[in-house]
Amino acid sequence: MQLHDAGRRGFASDNYSGVHADVLEAIATANHGHQSSYGNDAYTARLQQVVQGHFGERARAFPVFNGTGANVTALQAVLPHWGAVVCAKTAHINVDEGGAPEKVAGLKLYPVPTPDGKLTPALLDAEAWGYGDEHRAQPLAVSITQSTELGTLYSPDEIAALAEHAHALGMTVHLDGARLSNAAAALGVPFAAFTTDAGVDLLSLGGTKNGALGAEAIVVLDAERASGLPFLRKSNMQLASKMRFVSAQLIALFEGDLWLRNAAHSNAMAARLRACLEGVPGVAFTQPTQVNGVFARLPEGVADAVRERFFFYDWDVAAREVRWMCSFDTTESDVDEFAALVREAAAG
């Protein structure tokens, strides 16, 4: 029984979209017979090969249920109890994870204000200090997001410079890759170019926002760096008993080019949306549109008027700033209808 209006569309989040048909097929294919539980199955073994093909032969993947679990467990695995994490103030771990890094992992976060969601070596230094001071949680990791929560991109060189600086301070580099596929599609480079080759130590590999059904993974780029991960994944309630169904989804996305096709499409729909609204009186864009998110400031009343047909979130209510997200299943007609409503409301 279908309980929702399947014709209802929106630009609120790429989490609102359904599951790609190829991913559903992969789940169905894995759903025959018996396989060992807790990752001792053929699909999770195959996923290791797929991940190594993208990130290098020393990489190891740990499938988990969600992005918060991936981020928290990854950071906990590489930090002592007295460790702290430097991140952008807009980082998901700081804003949208309900305090899980602090409550679950017991980690201190040092958020740094940034204009575009990106950290630099100079911004890192704003909080990477006090080493040896027993009164200060020790900044031993930096977490960046690619693409960022503001829809911006780090270049491979920018990540490499940040990683080099962080490593010189004795810090581990973690990358939140909830939208890693969108970043790679936009940059036109393989994943390794801005992760393994740029000095990232471990990352959260996103699948859910790009067509999967609750499938993410922690990827350690040098498996020896996080020997406690198998134990932490269990104690953090991120160990799937029927892991083959999580792994099968990630194989469907990353073994071929489905991840790239989905991400490139959602990026293209965001670019189309921005192009449709460029020059509309009263509509001002607040960030570059580099991946699948568009950030804009609207005239008073426009957001609520458009939300009667298409739902989306306010980003900064006081500034009348909104966020529009495109998904792998966003269509050109979705974009064109939505843009027409925004133009009409802005004109009125």
Q: Which tens digit of pLDDT belongs to each residue from 234-282?
A: 999 999 999 999 999 999 999 999 999 999 999 999 999 999 999 999 9
Q: What percent of the chain has pLDDT over 90?
A: 96
Quick one: pLDDT band at residue 7, thresholds 50, 70, 90? confident
Read off the DSSP letter of residue 10: B
pLDDT of amino acid 1? 92
Quick one: pLDDT band at residue 226, thresholds 50, 70, 90? confident
Instruction: Compute the mean pLDDT over every residue in the chain, rounded to the nearest whole number.
Output: 97
User: How do strand 321-325 and strand 313-316 relate by DSSP bridges?
Assistant: antiparallel
Q: Is the pLDDT assigned to residue 223 strictly greater than 80?
A: no
CB 226 within 8 A of CB 220: yes
Residues 82-124: pLDDT tens digits?
999 999 999 999 999 999 999 999 999 999 999 999 999 999 9
Query: What domains are defined for the chain?
Result: 21-254 (3.40.640.10), 258-347 (3.90.1150.10)
Which has the closest alpha carbon to 142: 114, 182, 184? 114
Quick one: pLDDT band at residue 209, thresholds 50, 70, 90? very high
Q: What percent of the chain has pLDDT over 70?
A: 100
Mean pLDDT, to the nearest integer, of 138-160? 98
Q: How far apart are CA 49 and CA 45, in angstroms?
A: 7
Q: How far apart are CA 186 and CA 183, in angstroms?
A: 5
Partners of 220 in beta bridges: 60, 202
pLDDT of amino acid 317? 95
Q: How far apart are CA 20 and CA 111, in angstroms?
A: 35
Residues 19-51: pLDDT tens digits?
999 999 999 999 999 999 999 999 999 999 999
Q: Is the pLDDT assigned to residue 312 strictly greater than 80?
A: yes
CB 272 within 8 A of CB 332: yes
Q: Is the pLDDT assigned to residue 165 strictly greater than 80?
A: yes
Q: Is the pTM of this model over 0.95?
A: yes
Mean pLDDT, to the nearest integer, of 158-187? 98
Q: How far apart are CA 10 and CA 87, in angstroms?
A: 30
pLDDT of amino acid 55? 98
Q: Is the pLDDT assigned to residue 194 strictly greater than 90?
A: yes
Q: List CB contacts of 231: < 8 A, sequence separation 6 or more.
A: none
Q: Is the pLDDT assigned to residue 224 strictly greater than 90?
A: no
CB 169 within 8 A of CB 187: no
